[in-house]
Amino acid sequence: MQPFDYIAPQDHAEASALLADGDAAARAFMGGTDLLIRLRSGLIQPRRVVDLKALPGLREIRLSDSSPPAAPVAWLVIGAACTMNQVAAHPLVRRDYSLLVQACNAVASYQLRNRATIGGNCCNASPAADTAPALYCLDAMAEVYGPGGRRRIPIADFFVGPGQTALRKGEFLTAIHLPPPPAGAIGVFNKLGRTKVGDIALVSVAVYCWMERPDRSSETCQVCWRIALGAVGPTPLRAREAEDALAADSSTAGTKRAAELAAAAARPIDDHRASAAYRRDMVRVLTRRGIETVLMLRAGSDARSPAGDQPSLPGGPA
């Protein structure tokens, strides 16, 4: 491994200045589970590695005190240096964002999840990043800091291409912001790897569903769906046509149709790990399974809640 300077700055401005210095070809460092492998193999040769973990707030999970003024409930702010295990174990994440818990727990092994951070997972910008489909479904915002101060980027705009993010020179990811979840939202994350644990996804699918009443007096509900796919395109992606089809029909036939539309939305490639055709087929299978599981969980929660409290999905469980 080529030698490099290791620096742990004490504040955001110092970190940004260290990263902006082009002569050093500086790289941000979090858990190092991606970075060290690329350093060791010589794929990247920075002369400076900037450890961001000790910066104020980067390891915290807290409710936001700067949510949009009209927001009735606070957003959740997850510091970029929080590890997968820290995120998955946090009581607020467990209560409100079970989809993200499932995604964090799908990353590699328990030991690796003690090092791997949510920020590193996003900034590495692998299309197969396990947290990405969940963050797409949850409408997450990436908070970044740089020479121009702080700004927020919708997560789908943060991922630009394989290994590429929307970060500008001298910018780094400070946190992930999650809006309050809609009441009764249910999410399911399914991942297929070559092995049951410890492998990068060949395909991953997050399915997220909730119901909205157009107004308080309304008897009927609008069913909203989000479906996000991982490892089948240059970035993670939403399967919007599948979402719309499901909103109109979540019967068995509608579920099948949505799964086919999700497979059609995928843009997989052939590589040494799987063929494009296999990946596309697995998008169909994992999407269908995800929808069916959500519908089953929904039916269970309807049965537990008092009559009229939670209207059922039209079409019922598939």
Ligand X SMILES: Cc1cc2nc3c(=O)[nH]c(=O)nc-3n(C[C@H](O)[C@H](O)[C@H](O)COP(=O)(O)OP(=O)(O)OC[C@H]3O[C@@H](n4cnc5c(N)ncnc54)[C@H](O)[C@@H]3O)c2cc1C
Quote the least distance from Cβ 120 to ligand X, whole Å: 2
The residue (of 28 and 185) whose beta carbon lies closer to ligand X is 28
Quote the least distance from Cβ 82 to ligand X, whole Å: 10
249 closest CA partner among 176, 162, 188, 313: 313
| 8-state DSSP, 273 | S
Structure tokens at 153: 């980027």
The residue (of 32 and 57) whose beta carbon lies closer to ligand X is 32
How far are the Cα atoms of 104, 171, 188 from residue 160, in angstroms, in the given order? 22, 15, 25
Place of tokens 């002569």: 23
The residue (of 144 and 291) whose beta carbon lies closer to ligand X is 144
CA–CA distance, 146 with 29 (Å, rounded to integer): 16
Shortest Cβ contact with ligand X: which residue? 120
Quote the least distance from Cβ 38 to ligand X, whole Å: 7
Quote the least distance from Cβ 116 to ligand X, whole Å: 3
Extract the runs of DSSP E, i.e. beta strands, from the chain.
5-7, 27-29, 48-51, 61-63, 76-79, 141-146, 149-154, 159-161, 164-165, 172-178, 186-192, 203-212, 222-230, 237-238
The residue (of 36 and 297) whose beta carbon lies closer to ligand X is 36
Place of tokens 């909730």: 210
101 closest CA partner among 141, 63, 130: 130
| Region of residue 31 (left: phi > 0; alpha: psi -120 to 50; beta: else) | alpha
CA dihedral 158, 161, 166, 171 (to 10 degrees): 110
- Per CB under 6 A, residues contacting ligand X are 27-35, 37, 52, 80, 107-108, 112, 115-117, 119-121, 123-124, 129-130, 167, 172-173, 200
The residue (of 38 and 256) whose beta carbon lies closer to ligand X is 38
Quote the least distance from Cβ 49 to ligand X, whole Å: 8
Quote the least distance from Cβ 145 to ligand X, whole Å: 9
Quote the least distance from Cβ 136 to ligand X, whole Å: 14
Residues shown for the chain: 318
The residue (of 30 and 205) whose beta carbon lies closer to ligand X is 30
The residue (of 200 and 297) whose beta carbon lies closer to ligand X is 200
